[in-house]
Amino acid sequence: MNSYLLARMSSPILDVRDVARLARIELTDVEAATFQSQLGRVLEYVEQLNALDVSSVEPTAHANPVFNVLRADEPKPGLDRTSALANAPHAANNLVIVTKVIE
């Protein structure tokens, strides 16, 4: 995070009431004061994280390795027509008859 954005976030310019207005959320005075102090603490923590040296840490998209756990896509025989139609609630002329949904 560059220093300009960090300085802007920690300044009084970032107002909870303004953010609430943009989100179309009404806040009471007590809620605004609570959220403003909570936001200040979050931004202080971000400043602490920003001070860490992470130059030797490899960038990652996920904290844990992500592997494709799906089985291989191999063609296999499917249901034969008779078995598939036997499971259908209504069938005629080797077709599954479905209930009309849209009029």
Q: Is the dihedral of CA 81, 83, 88, 93 positive or negative?
A: positive
What pLDDT band is residue 6 in, cutting at 50, 70 and 90? Answer: very low
pTM, to two decimals: 0.44
Question: Average model confidence (pLDDT) for the chain?
Answer: 83
Per-residue pLDDT tens digits for 51-94: 999 889 888 888 888 777 788 889 999 989 988 899 888 999 99
CB atoms within 10 A of CB 15: 13
**26 token code pair:** 């009404």
Q: How far apart are CA 48 and CA 41, in angstroms?
A: 11
